[in-house]
Each structure stands twice: as C-alpha cells, then as structure tokens.
Amino acid sequence: MLPRKKSVKESRIEDYTYRIFSNDLNSQGTVFGGLIMSTLDRIALVIAERHSQTVCVTASVDSMHFLAPAGKGDNLIFQASINRAWKSSMEIGVKVTSEHAHSGEKTHILSAYFTFVALGKDKKPTKVPEVVPESAEEKRRFAEAELRREHRKRIKEEIHASRDN
Ligand SMILES: CC(C)(COP(=O)(O)OP(=O)(O)OC[C@H]1O[C@@H](n2cnc3c(N)ncnc32)[C@H](O)[C@@H]1OP(=O)(O)O)[C@@H](O)C(=O)NCCC(=O)NCCS
C-alpha cells in the first residue's frame, strides 16, 4: 500500500555525474543546453516515480536559469530532490554544477523546478504521498514550493482574465 507520507531522502538523487565530450557541445563550444534539460527531465522523473510509486508526466518547468556555461573536459554533477507534493502533483528541485575534471573547481551552472503529475491506471491524476521535510533546507524548499505554485496559478488566472477583456 502507498504510504501517506514520505521523506525527501527516500527519493533524492545526490550526484549523478556526466562527463562532457566533444559531441555534447554547441557551436559556441559550450555544452548544449538541451542535453542538460533532457537529463534533468529524466532525473526528476525518477524522483517523482520513486515518491509516488506510479507513472508520472512532466506538467511544467519553472525558473530554468542557465547561470554559467560548461565545456569539454568538465563533469556535470546533477542533484535533485522533491520539494513538496500536493494532491497529485509534485515539485522537484534540480541543480547542476560543473566540475573541472582536473582542478576540481566547481561552478553552479543551472537551477530549475519541475512539476510532475502522478497518473493512476485510468491515466487520470492520482493521489501521492505528502512530503515530510526534515532539515532546515528541506523546510525552506517546502515553503518556497507553495509560493511558486500560488504564483503559477495567479499568472494563469491573470492571463485568462486579460484575454477575456
Ligand atoms: C499534467 C496533466 C496530467 C494534468 O491533467 P489535468 O486533467 O489538467 O489535471 P487537473 O487539472 O485535474 O490537475 C491535476 C494536477 O496537476 C496540476 N497541474 C496541471 N497542469 C499543471 C501545470 N501546467 N503545471 C503545474 N501543475 C499542473 C494541478 O495543479 C493539479 O495538482 P494537484 O492535484 O496536486 O492539486 C495533463 O495536462 C497532461 O497529461 N499533460 C501532458 C503531460 C505530458 O505529456 N508530459 C510530457 C511532455 S512531452
């Protein structure tokens, strides 16, 4: 049976590492952003499905900011964890750091928030366990996820209202 509540650490991914080679680069010689986005979607999906124990789909991505480039010879380190769950949806926060393969110098290159929706056997949204934040950082992310959800809803309503006028 599906538990009513789950901790963040039960689904977290701490250091998925990807080595950048020449075929990962764009025409600027830096890593192709789509490669990072696709990898993140897969990682966040794994977390959503670990948490919900069912099939999940990507519903939206918020605040995807590319902060710095990474290039050939760097390693990309992906970290992701569930921030909060509501009825059927879950927010997964992701962070990517580049690490120079030899010097080990680290640079934060991207952060974003993915929302996944869990689907039941009927392919309709289905209930997911609540997230129990434990550390101070998990509690901060839990609170901020609610702000982002409210912001998403408010923007949607404002856009609908502006189209009706
Ligand atoms: C995501 C999807 C399942 C939502 O279905 P829906 O019938 O609109 O669902 P509802 O309106 O009942 O909302 C269900 C939940 O999804 C959330 N949701 C729906 N659209 C959302 C969006 N764009 N962003 C964030 N959350 C969203 C709702 O807030 C709600 O959350 P809650 O249950 O935790 O309160 C549906 O829009 C879908 O199938 N989208 C395509 C997903 C897909 O194919 N992804 C892969 C991309 S290639």
96 Cα to the center of ligand 1, angstroms: 25
Say if 159 falls within a structural domain: yes
Say if 2 falls within a structural domain: no
Range of the domain at 15: 8-164
Could you identify the residue written with the tokens 């999940």?
Answer: 56
Say if 147 falls within a structural domain: yes
pTM of the model: 0.95
Say if 106 falls within a structural domain: yes
Residue 1 has pLDDT above 90, yes or no: no
> CATH number, domain at 156?
3.10.129.10
Say if 83 falls within a structural domain: yes
Q: pLDDT (tens digit, 9 = 90+) per residue, 81-120? A: 999 999 999 999 999 999 998 999 999 999 999 999 999 9
Token output for 7: 């901790």
Output the pLDDT for position 64.
Answer: 94
Q: Does 115 sit in the ligand 1 pocket, CB within 6 Å?
A: yes
The residue whose CB lies within 8 Å of the most ligand 1 atoms, and thus the one to mutate among 88, 117, 148, is 117
The answer to whether 124 and 117 have CB atoms below 8 angstroms apart is no
Say if 1 falls within a structural domain: no
What span, in angstroms and rounded, lies between the C-alpha atoms of 12 and 60?
20
Output the pLDDT for position 104.
Answer: 94
Alpha carbon dihedral 62, 65, 70, 76, in 10-degree steps, equals: -30
The answer to whether 5 and 132 have CB atoms below 8 angstroms apart is yes
Residue type, 99: E
| Nearest CA, atom 21, ligand 1 | 59
Non-local (6+) Cβ contacts of 79 within 8 A are 13, 14, 15, 16, 94, 95, 96, 97
Say if 3 falls within a structural domain: no
Q: How many domains does the chain have?
A: 1
Say if 14 falls within a structural domain: yes
* DSSP reduced 3-state for 51: helix
